[in-house]
């Protein structure tokens, strides 16, 4: 499960424990290098113990930056405690109840929700804690219409009470430095797909990300037909890009097991393998063998699977789009006639006009 530590890296630096590949949007476990040996020993011991997991609550999840930047981001919400700390329970009837400790900051705004979990493995403690915390947030949202989300989970060390492992969505580390730059050519037929891809990357919901990825890939079938038609009109005979190959090891690195990855060779195979997940979240209630079932989005196991699925599907949906975009630019885009080059001295000619959009 864990990557190897290095003697050349500062002990207070953050390391990615899981998955192997820092895939944007996947659910990742991070720890300081100086916690590596402790984590390995706790995993190996497999002693049943009670763990404390703290959920940092906010109205958003950081989606850009490295681990240090993301962990330094402050949380924000409108939950204030009259009693600090506040101990409350969520009861489902009978003996089925969970106790929570709600701890506030100096101004009594909720800083985190702590829940106690019994498990042999620290990784399982994180997995088990998400559902009860989400269940509490669900009823608070139901009663008060508050936008509440788990920004990250923190597993506390049983030896010294410090943060042992942090679990959060893996943020995007890439950045861009712009300028000098004249402008950017937009491949217009791809604009709706670009918008949907950005919609996915700016969402903190793996469930919605997976749906967006599916819509993008599904839509490329129509895009292929459109490009093929333009090729026939212009006498272009070059073969269009085929469905991208999938490396099963890449799927394992994202977080899937070898059983899932077996037999997947093309992007289409991957999307077909996750069809049930797409249908489950798209329709919520599914009739399977005469029995209705649904996805409980508060469950940590479901979130983990959908996060890995969304990361993989978005990666390959984007790869398909890029292949088709390059083909379009090379063989069709430059054959559509003369193009006016906007220059700074003529920028007043290139403004957005309501009349161009039939708005006035």
Average pLDDT over residues 118-142: 94
Report whether pLDDT(347) > 50. Answer: yes
CA distances to 31, 48, 188, 254, 350 from 133, rounded to whole Å, are 21, 21, 44, 25, 51
Average pLDDT over residues 159-181: 92
Q: Are residues 39 and 92 in the same domain?
A: yes
Residue 318 included in any domain: yes
Average pLDDT over residues 236-250: 94
Q: Is 68 left (phi over 0), alpha (psi -120 to 50) or beta?
A: alpha
Residue 243 included in any domain: yes
Q: Are residues 304 and 211 in the same domain?
A: yes
Report whether pLDDT(5) > 60. Answer: no
| 197: containing domain | 188-335
Report whether pLDDT(334) > 70. Answer: no
State the DSSP H helix or E strand holding residue 132, giving kind and residue range, or none if neither: helix 122-144
Q: Are residues 221 and 164 in the same domain?
A: no
Residue 359 included in any domain: no
| Higher local confidence (pLDDT), 317 or 335 | 317
Check residue 332 and give its pLDDT. 87
CB contact set of 168 (below 8 Å; sequence gap of 6+): 27, 28, 30, 61, 62, 70, 71, 151, 152, 153
DSSP per position, 246-263: --HHHHHHHT--HHHHTT
Quote the percentage of the chain above a pLDDT of 90.
72
Q: Are residues 21 and 155 in the same domain?
A: yes
Check residue 193 and give its pLDDT. 95
Residue 328 included in any domain: yes
The rounded mean pLDDT for the chain is 90
Average pLDDT over residues 178-206: 90
Q: Are residues 145 and 264 in the same domain?
A: no
Q: Are residues 26 and 159 in the same domain?
A: yes
Instruction: Give the best-scoring range by mean pLDDT among 17-31, 168-182, 341-355.
Output: 17-31
Check residue 292 and give its pLDDT. 66
Residue 51 included in any domain: yes
Quote the percentage of the chain above a pLDDT of 70.
93
Check residue 95 and give its pLDDT. 86
Q: Does residue 85 have a cis peptide bond before it, meaning omega lies within 30 degrees of 0?
A: yes
Average pLDDT over residues 206-216: 95
Q: Are residues 252 and 164 in the same domain?
A: no
Check residue 4 and give its pLDDT. 43
pLDDT band at 2 (very low <50, low <70, confident <90, very high): very low
Instruction: Among 6-10, 110-114, 276-280, 314-318, name the one with the lowest average pLDDT.
Output: 6-10
Average pLDDT over residues 82-106: 94
Check residue 338 and give its pLDDT. 65
Residue 5 included in any domain: no
Provide the domain count of the chain.
2
Residue 181 included in any domain: no
pLDDT band at 3 (very low <50, low <70, confident <90, very high): very low
Check residue 7 and give its pLDDT. 56
Report whether pLDDT(340) > 80. Answer: no
Residue 175 included in any domain: no
Per the CB < 8 A criterion, the answer to whether 15 and 144 are in contact is: no
Query: Is the C-alpha dihedral spanning 20, 21, 22, 28 positive or negative?
Result: negative
Q: Are residues 137 and 217 in the same domain?
A: no
pLDDT in tens, 52-90: 999 999 999 999 999 999 999 889 999 999 999 999 999
Q: Are residues 149 and 31 in the same domain?
A: yes
Check residue 293 and give its pLDDT. 67
Check residue 335 and give its pLDDT. 58
pLDDT band at 337 (very low <50, low <70, confident <90, very high): low
Q: Are residues 236 and 119 in the same domain?
A: no
Report whether pLDDT(357) > 90. Answer: no
Check residue 301 and give its pLDDT. 86
CA distances to 79, 102, 103, 113, 161 from 107, rounded to whole Å, are 11, 14, 11, 16, 23
Q: Are residues 252 and 142 in the same domain?
A: no
CB atoms within 10 A of CB 121: 18
Q: Are residues 293 and 162 in the same domain?
A: no
Check residue 342 and give its pLDDT. 86
Check residue 279 and give its pLDDT. 87
């Amino acid at each position: 499960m864990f990557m190897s530590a290095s003697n050349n890296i500062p002990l207070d630096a953050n390391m990615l424990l899981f998955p192997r590949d820092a895939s944007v949007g996947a659910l990742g476990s991070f720890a300081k290098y100086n916690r590596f040996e402790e984590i390995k020993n706790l995993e190996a011991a497999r002693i049943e113990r009670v763990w404390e997991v703290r959920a940092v609550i906010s109205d958003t999840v950081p989606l850009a930056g490295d681990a240090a930047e993301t962990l330094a981001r402050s949380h924000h919400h409108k939950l204030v405690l009259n009693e600090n700390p506040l101990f409350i329970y969520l009861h489902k009837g009978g003996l089925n109840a969970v106790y929570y400790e709600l701890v506030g900051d100096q101004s009594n705004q909720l800083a985190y929700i702590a829940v106690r979990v019994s498990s042999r493995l620290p990784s399982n403690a994180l997995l088990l804690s998400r559902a009860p915390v989400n269940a509490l947030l669900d009823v608070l949202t139901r009663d008060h219409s508050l936008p509440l989300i788990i920004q990250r989970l923190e597993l506390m060390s049983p030896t010294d009470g410090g943060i042992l492992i942090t679990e959060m969505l893996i943020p995007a580390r890439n950045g861009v430095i712009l300028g000098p730059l004249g402008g950017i050519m937009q491949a217009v037929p791809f604009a709706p797909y670009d918008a949907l891809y950005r919609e996915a990357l700016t969402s903190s919901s793996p469930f919605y990300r997976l749906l967006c990825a599916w819509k993008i890939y599904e839509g490329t079938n129509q895009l292929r037909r459109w490009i093929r038609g333009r090729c026939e009109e212009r006498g272009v005979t070059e073969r269009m890009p085929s469905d991208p190959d999938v490396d099963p090891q890449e799927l394992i690195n994202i977080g899937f097991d070898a059983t899932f990855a077996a037999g997947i060779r093309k992007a289409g195979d991957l999307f077909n393998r996750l069809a049930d997940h797409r249908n489950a979240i798209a329709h919520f209630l599914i009739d399977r063998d005469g029995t209705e079932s649904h996805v409980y989005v508060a469950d940590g196991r479901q979130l983990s699977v959908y996060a890995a699925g969304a990361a993989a599907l978005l990666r390959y949906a984007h790869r398909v789009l890029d292949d088709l975009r390059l083909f379009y630019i090379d063989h069709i885009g430059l054959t559509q006639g003369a193009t006016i080059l906007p220059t700074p001295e003529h920028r007043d000619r290139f403004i957005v006009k309501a009349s161009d959009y039939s708005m006035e």
